[in-house]
Chain A
Amino acid sequence: MYVNEPETGKHTPLFEYYKANGVRLIDFGGWEMPIQFSGILAEHEAVRERAGLFDCSHMGEIEITGSEAEGYLNKLLTNDVSAMSIGQAQYNIMCYPDGGAVDDVILFKMDEARYLLVCNASNTDKVYAWMQENNSSAALLNNISDSIGLLALQGPAAIRILKELTDADLDAIRNYHFIADQQVVGIPHVLISRTGYTGEDGFELYLAADQTAALWEKLLAAGEDYGLLPCGLGSRDTLRLEAGMPLYGHELSEQINPLTAGLGFAVKTKKTHDFIGKAALAAIRENGPAEKIVGFEATERGIPREGYKVFAADGAEIGTVTSGTQSPTLKKSIGMALLKAEASAIGTEIQIEIRNKRIKATIIPKPFYKRTK
């Protein structure tokens, strides 16, 4: 029933703030992180209705520079890096030769010969090692994760709150674009990116680690009148799940390739550049993946959780739940599951085994939640 308080773990720049404010921390992939501040449901609702602020400083940041950077990244990543313009962010998968995923990442094009790659916290060492191992060109790599803080300000009021603190032209930043070197409440060199992991409008702010706690407190203060809440990993997970976004280790992994995960939009098997995993992924695309990640909603009471078995209406086992929760916004149980492709059509009735019984569910399209404004 209790979460163990970790004795040792990696800390974000907000660790002292957490200690001083009595925020309960849990172990998350080796990091001591808050699961919640005021409560997962309240934080979730704040992001959907108003705004929420997340500490994402545990994420990894790797800088790639040099004239060979673009070609190198094109070899390493599934999306078409050549298509990027300066100031653009691009969702990408880094794959193994068999198509399995090393990680999913966001790539920022800072300059013609300078990129920033942002990866999942617990994958940072693995990603950096893989990048070094496959660097036959002269691209310069630098893991700057420890010197960078990352705060995500998400929700419909995010833009109004951030405008209180900066003169940067936020309206001009389109979705999946950014502006670097901005000043926010006197803090210099802040990269402001219109990205997020919640399904809402919002910004991610990359800045020097030692300025992160100051920006956190100033954002919270500026957001008070807007109903901004500090948010933990719990609501981050329920928000991304409602938005139908994959989480590495659940819907995407070394075993679950991006086509199985439904991330084909980021897999450019027709790009001119060869890339690691291309042959395998082209073949999977040609033949169709054997399994698929689907979205489902339960039509009977119960909460499907990761690892629960999924059965067809006729009782045959067809897969496993990869993520599941009671959706705070939709007030029903939703989730994603890895199912045999032939059993994965939208509208299919399935059953999920929860403890001693099976409950009915229906395969439905993702995302479960889409913002209207």
Chain B
Amino acid sequence: MADHKNFHYTKEHEWVEKLTEDTVRIGITEHAAEQLGDIVFVDFVADLDAELAKGDEAVTVESVKSVSEVYAPVSGTVIKQNEALADAPETVNAEAFAGGWMYEMRLSDASELDELLNYDEYEAFVAEEEA
């Protein structure tokens, strides 16, 4: 299993795992999942093959009490969705950094990854937000 300490992160609490030179896997962080509470529905707003610009809505995550958007952290094309979440959305709570992944993208500009936070920077951001 990939070590999430090597992932890229956003201030919107998403993680981005680089799979190959031009493909990534995206999910929400453990911290985000914990804040949301029990996740009961993952709705793929962006279809397969959809071309997303950085910041476009990709997925809607619903907990019992809330509805939250997951935005594309980088630009590219949706190439895969985690269909297992349709029947087991609680996987996002149980393993946010692994089985709870949401979708994969083919990057249109790999250099966008450099703009994201690393693990330590994300942790510091969360600590600051909590303070």
Q: What B residues does A35 contact at CB under 8 A? A: 37, 65
- Please give the distance in Å from A28's CB to the nearest CB on chain B: 12
Q: What B residues does A301 contact at CB under 8 A? A: 41, 43, 86
Residue-by-residue, is B1-35 near A (CB-CB < 8 Å gives 1, otherwise 0)? 00000000000110000000000000000001001
Interface residue? B38 (CB, 8 A): yes
The answer to whether B37 and A355 touch across the interface, beta carbons within 8 angstroms, is: no
Q: What B residues does A234 contact at CB under 8 A? A: 37, 64-65
Q: What B residues does A325 contact at CB under 8 A? A: 64
- Please give the distance in Å from B50's CB to the nearest CB on chain A: 12
Interface residue? A140 (CB, 8 A): no
What's the Cα separation between A301 and B41 when bound, in Å? 9
The answer to whether A2 and B35 touch across the interface, beta carbons within 8 angstroms, is: yes
Quick one: given A39-B37, A40-B38, A41-B38, are A328 and B64 in contact (CB under 8 Å)?
A: yes
Interface residue? A238 (CB, 8 A): yes
Q: Which of A36, A237, A302, A328 meets B37, CB within 8 Å?
A: A36
Nearest B residue (CB) for A325: B64
Q: What B residues does A3 contact at CB under 8 A? A: 35
The answer to whether A356 and B37 touch across the interface, beta carbons within 8 angstroms, is: no
- Please give the distance in Å from A288's CB to the nearest CB on chain B: 35
Q: Which of A2, A42, A326, A355 meets B45, CB within 8 Å?
A: A355
Interface residue? B36 (CB, 8 A): yes
Main secondary structure of the interface of B (DSSP, over half): mixed
Q: What B residues does A302 contact at CB under 8 A? A: 41, 43
What's the Cα separation between A237 and B63 when bound, in Å? 13
- Please give the distance in Å from B78's CB to the nearest CB on chain A: 15
What's the Cα separation between A356 and B57 when bound, in Å? 12
Nearest B residue (CB) for A39: B38
The answer to whether A303 and B45 touch across the interface, beta carbons within 8 angstroms, is: no
Nearest A residue (CB) for B89: A326
Interface residue? B67 (CB, 8 A): yes
The answer to whether A1 and B32 touch across the interface, beta carbons within 8 angstroms, is: yes
Nearest B residue (CB) for A326: B40
Interface residue? A305 (CB, 8 A): yes
Nearest A residue (CB) for B86: A301
The answer to whether B41 and A1 touch across the interface, beta carbons within 8 angstroms, is: no
Residue-by-residue, is A72-111 near B (CB-CB < 8 Å gives 1, otherwise 0)? 0000000000000000000000000000000000000000
- Please give the distance in Å from B13's CB to the nearest CB on chain A: 7
Quick one: given A35-B65, A40-B65, are A1 and B36 in contact (CB under 8 Å)?
A: yes
Q: Which of A2, A40, A238, A303 meets B62, CB within 8 Å?
A: A303
Q: What A residues does B43 contact at CB under 8 A? A: 301-302, 355
The answer to whether B36 and A326 touch across the interface, beta carbons within 8 angstroms, is: no
Residue-by-residue, is A219-242 near B (CB-CB < 8 Å gives 1, otherwise 0)? 000000000000000100110000
What's the Cα separation between A237 and B40 when bound, in Å? 16
Q: Which of B13, B45, B64 meets A356, CB within 8 Å?
A: B45
Q: What B residues does A39 contact at CB under 8 A? A: 37-38
What's the Cα separation between A2 and B41 when bound, in Å? 18
- Please give the distance in Å from B35's CB to the nearest CB on chain A: 6
Residue among B32, B63, B64, B86 facing the most chain A CB atoms (10 A cut-off): B64
What's the Cα separation between A301 and B89 when bound, in Å? 13
Residue-by-residue, is B90-131 near A (CB-CB < 8 Å gives 1, otherwise 0)? 000000000000000000000000000000000000000100
- Please give the distance in Å from A365's CB to the nearest CB on chain B: 23
Residue-by-residue, is B42-55 near A (CB-CB < 8 Å gives 1, otherwise 0)? 01010000000000
Q: Which of B13, B45, B64, B86 meets A40, CB within 8 Å?
A: B64
Quick one: given A328-B64, A355-B60, are A1 and B40 in contact (CB under 8 Å)?
A: no
Residue among A1, A3, A39 facing the most chain B CB atoms (10 A cut-off): A1
Quick one: given A1-B32, A234-B64, A234-B65, are A326 and B37 in contact (CB under 8 Å)?
A: no
Q: What B residues does A355 contact at CB under 8 A? A: 43, 45, 60
Which residues does A use to contact B, with CB under 8 Å?
Answer: 1-3, 35-36, 39-42, 234, 237-238, 301-303, 305, 325-326, 328, 355-356
- Besides A40-B38, A328-B64, 4 more A-B contacts (Cβ < 8 Å) are A1-B35, A36-B37, A234-B64, A355-B60
Cβ contacts A to B, 20 pairs, < 8 Å: A1-B12, A1-B13, A1-B66, A2-B35, A35-B65, A39-B37, A40-B63, A40-B64, A41-B40, A41-B64, A42-B38, A234-B64, A234-B65, A237-B65, A301-B43, A302-B41, A305-B67, A328-B64, A355-B45, A356-B45
6 closest Cβ contacts across the A-B interface? A326-B40, A40-B64, A41-B38, A1-B68, A303-B62, A39-B38
